Structure 1
Amino acid sequence: MSKSRCGWCVGDTLYEAYHDEEWGVPVFDDKTLFEFLILETFQAGLSWITILRKRENFRKAFDNFDYKKIAAYKSSKEEELLQNAGIIRNKLKIKATISNAQAFMEIQKEFGSFSKYIWAFVDGKPIKNSFESFKDSPSNTELSDKISKDLKKRGFKFVGSTVIYAQMQATGMVNDHEVSCFRYQEV
């Protein structure tokens, strides 16, 4: 018997595995939060499956998502990334990833961790929504607007409200699994 899953992932094994194992699971680890921030930034204007299919390429290209290394990238590394056909070769997004790594570390200095900063917006607990269909899920909310605005004020780029809401979904700050999905109660 097949499991009942959110409609957006059905039919693609990579999508289903991501949905079943990662999407909506609360993430409190700074390294993983940064990884999703990079991936969501590159996803802006594209489909998530495109990014998932290139995830390992991103991992290799961006030093295993090590924000300390990324923050120190020089123009030669930017050029190398622009020539890497395995990732999304968008100059502005590559530059944003580097400056976002720097801003990420500034937040760590101020709050002790990025996790403490970002999870404070939801008082440390995921928001549990009750959507019948993934199509009912918003692309942004007042809260994602607020987080986006705060991140931009702190120097982050490509962190619009829609990108931030996708980040919140991916890292479990909101549970947007469909109520009929087997993961809804699990996460």
Structure 2
Amino acid sequence: MDTLCRCGWANPKNPRYLAYHDEEWGVPSHDETRLFEMLNLEGAQAGLSWETILNKRDSYREAFDGWDVERIARYDATKVAELLANPGIVRNRLKVAATIANAQAYLRLREAGQTLDGYLWAHVDGRPIQNTIEDYRQAPAKTALSDQISKELSRRGFKFVGSTIIYAYLQASGLVNDHALNCFRYQQVKDLAA
């Protein structure tokens, strides 16, 4: 029997969810593909549960060509129709269009000599913010930092990047450690930044 203490949001009945919590959430990421993937998955979550998106993650990877930004940026009406018919993803026209717009915005960022990794991590001077919360419900839904990044990304043409979505993105990508203090991952994730 698993006796590890985890953040209260991690569904113990879903092995995929536990693996996400235990191995990925809050781990500092510098991988461009993963950062792009998580940005879009967090946007896809809007109005839904993270568990819903996590359960569809493999389908998203397949549907969006392994998160190949250059291919996604060139998607046409035929590909959009194919995506909207795919039951493995959230079939929302605005969210699909946002992913394509995000790929195009990402390429403009890269053409300007920036990476998503460099852009994001510059906001925290390359070191994750280490919060100290007792319970996951104490974590903020958004912060001044997520407000700032949200506005900047919107200005650059990214879609579904509201401040609440961006704060969840910062947590997921390890720019913020919001594991609860009593969670077995809190110190492990904190040590990754040392």
Q: What TM-score bracket applies, with the shorter chain setting the length?
A: over 0.9
* CA distance in 2 between partners of 1:142 and 1:123 (Å): 16
**For residues 120-150 of structure 1, what are the alpha-carbon distances to aligned partners after superposition, in whole Å with 9 as ceiling and x for unaligned?**
1111110000000001001111110000000
One-letter code aligned to 2:143: T
Q: 1:165 — aligned with what?
A: 167
* CA distance in 1 between partners of 2:46 and 2:114 (Å): 28
**For residues 21-60 of structure 1, what are the alpha-carbon distances to aligned partners after superposition, in whole Å with 9 as ceiling and x for unaligned?**
1000000011110010111110011100000000011111
C-alpha contact 1:111 1:117 (8 A) present in aligned 2: no
**For residues 82-118 of structure 1, what are the alpha-carbon distances to aligned partners after superposition, in whole Å with 9 as ceiling and x for unaligned?**
1111110000110110011010111122243110011
Post-superposition offset of 1:2? 1.2
The secondary structure found in structure 1 opposite 2:167 is: helix
The secondary structure found in structure 2 opposite 1:179 is: coil
CA RMSD of aligned residues (A): 1.0
Q: 2:43 — aligned with what?
A: 41
* CA distance in 1 between partners of 2:114 and 2:156 (Å): 16
Q: 1:21 — aligned with what?
A: 23
- TM (normalized to structure 1)? 0.97
Q: 2:72 — aligned with what?
A: 70
**For residues 143-180 of structure 1, what are the alpha-carbon distances to aligned partners after superposition, in whole Å with 9 as ceiling and x for unaligned?**
10000000000011110001100100000000000011
Report percent identity of matched pairs.
55
One-letter code aligned to 2:40: I
Unaligned runs of 5+ in 1: none
Post-superposition offset of 1:10? 3.8
* CA distance in 2 between partners of 1:168 and 1:109 (Å): 24
* CA distance in 1 between partners of 2:11 and 2:89 (Å): 25
Q: 1:145 — aligned with what?
A: 147
One-letter code aligned to 1:2: T
